[in-house]
């Protein structure tokens, strides 16, 4: 039986049983001040490409712009096999079109192969992160480092690498810097002490639901920036519908609509991919876009 890709509009969360969970959360000060959410997520199940971008407070939609350009580039050119070709595609089709004032991070993982031949190409610019975690030991097997190669401010991305994923316990995390505010708070409050604890306590598809629960219960107890986060089991991405989804990168008026929906309790339910057409109006209202081929 094919697994469904599900979206909860009210939680702005996407999940796939056993494979993935991703969500955005608007920063505490952004909510108070009525700003947009500068974090944006891209899920491309057909190409097995996943990305996070983090735009500035002034131009929060810059993150959506760059990920839309990534989506268009992949639809036109496909996913290159080599890291050098992937770098060329990003620089010529994705980074090249970003305006100077539309500064944003760009962190992307593209999976290919399967089994012992599973690899990931990682492209990274800015202070968001891509981390490979051993879900049993909690040890970081690979992680990107912060740099100043922000899209918009830099003409080219520099850090593009290829890695073989040999460990069946490996999970990939992609997140914006706001997630570090959240994780520090969780460790201080002993919600979890390590990634090993988190993965042993929760199935991967429930990660973002748990984050929502903690943030709701801890409202007012700590400050956090916009959070864009996804957790991926790279060995469970096969056999899924070739759906492409963008969540986030919202302008202030879009956030206002979203807040109104939250107050009304609109559509706090999981919508499977075969029901997305009927929910398109709600998705659009909440900053969720389904890209069609």
CA 16, 137, 118 angle in degrees (round to 5)?
A: 50
In this prediction, residue 1 carries a pLDDT of 60
In this prediction, residue 191 carries a pLDDT of 80
**Structural domains of the chain sorted by starting position, each given as residue range(s) with its CATH number in brackets:** 5-291 (3.60.40.10)
Cα(249)–Cα(258) distance, rounded to whole angstroms?
13
Task: Please say whether the beta carbons of 132 and 142 come within 8 A.
Answer: yes
Predicted TM-score (pTM) of the model is: 0.96
Contacts 24+ apart (CB under 8 A), 144-149: 144/107, 149/124, 149/125
Q: Which helix (H) or strand (E) holds 281?
A: helix 280-285
Q: Which helix (H) or strand (E) holds 62?
A: helix 62-77
| Residue 190: pLDDT band with limits 50, 70, 90 | confident
Cα(191)–Cα(197) distance, rounded to whole angstroms?
9
The average pLDDT across 224-253 equals 96
Residue of 38, 231, 228, 212 whose CA lies nearest to 128 = 228
Task: Please say whether the beta carbons of 268 and 11 come within 8 A.
Answer: yes
3-class DSSP state of 147: coil
The average pLDDT across 114-118 equals 90
pLDDT more than 90, % of the chain: 84
């Amino acid at each position: 039986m094919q697994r469904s890709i599900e979206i909860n509009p009210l939680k702005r969360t996407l999940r796939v049983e056993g494979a993935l969970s991703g969500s955005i959360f608007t920063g505490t000060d952004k909510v108070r001040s009525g700003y947009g959410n500068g974090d944006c997520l891209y899920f491309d199940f057909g190409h097995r490409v996943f990305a996070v971008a983090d735009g500035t407070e002034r131009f929060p939609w810059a993150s959506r712009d760059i990920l839309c350009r990534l989506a268009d580039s992949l639809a036109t050119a496909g996913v290159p096999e080599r890291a050098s070709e992937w770098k060329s595609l990003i620089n010529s089709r994705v980074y090249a079109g970003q305006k100077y004032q539309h500064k944003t991070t760009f962190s992307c993982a593209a999976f290919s192969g399967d089994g012992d031949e599973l690899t990931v190409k990682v492209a990274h610019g800015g202070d968001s992160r891509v981390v490979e975690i051993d879900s049993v030991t909690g040890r970081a097997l690979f992680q990107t480092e912060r740099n100043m190669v922000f899209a918009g401010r830099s003409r080219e991305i520099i850090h593009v690498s290829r890695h073989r994923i040999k460990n069946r316990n490996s999970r990939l995390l992609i997140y914006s810097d706001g997630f570090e505010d959240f994780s520090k708070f969780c460790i201080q409050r002993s919600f979890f002490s390590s990634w090993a604890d988190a993965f042993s306590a929760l199935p991967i598809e429930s990660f973002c639901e748990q984050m929502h629960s903690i943030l709701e219960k801890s409202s007012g107890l700590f400050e956090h920036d916009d959070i864009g986060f996804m957790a991926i089991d790279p060995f469970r991405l096969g056999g899924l519908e070739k759906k492409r989804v963008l969540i986030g990168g919202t302008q202030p008026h879009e956030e206002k609509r979203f807040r109104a929906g939250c107050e009304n309790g609109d559509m706090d339910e999981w919508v499977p991919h075969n029901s997305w057409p009927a929910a398109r109006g709600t998705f659009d209202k909440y900053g969720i876009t389904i890209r069609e081929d």
